[in-house]
Amino acid sequence: MRTNLLTTRVLRVGHAEQDVVFRATGEVDLNTGAELDAELAELAAQPGVTGVVCDLTGVGFFGSVGLTVLLAACDRGRFVVVAGPGTAAHRTLQVSGVLEALPVVDTVADGLLALAR
């Protein structure tokens, strides 16, 4: 089900093989979790996408359903989450303990650097 609760955008997709930035804004909850999962799966399956920097800085609410989505995305390939301290996603990652299980950085620049390493 598509809702107006979550908006996503893919940046820096060119023709060459490269890492892309996936930016989500809005709310990740029981209504939008499946939508986020489907979009990340679709992105990972695109030819030429070598890695994904998932920017959750603009997500104002991040429920536990999002944790499953991020862990699944991490299993699909090279994946870094941008969720600095103070963001909703950071709090949920921290409280659940998933912060230690995923590569989480503070900025998109750090995310791209992490993938380049």
Q: What is the DSSP letter of 31?
A: T
Q: How many residues form the binding site for other proteins (CB under 8 A)?
A: 20
63 in helix, strand or coil?
A: coil
Binding mask 9-48 for other proteins (x = CB under 8 A): ------------------x-xxx-x---------------
Confirm or reject binding of residue 91 to other proteins (CB under 8 A): yes
5 in helix, strand or coil?
A: coil
b/e code 4-19 from CB counts within 10 Å (16+ = b): eebebeeeeeeeeeeb
Q: Which stretch binds other proteins (CB under 8 A): 11-19, 51-59, 65-73, 108-116?
A: 65-73
Minimum gap (Å) between residue 20 Cβ and other proteins:
26
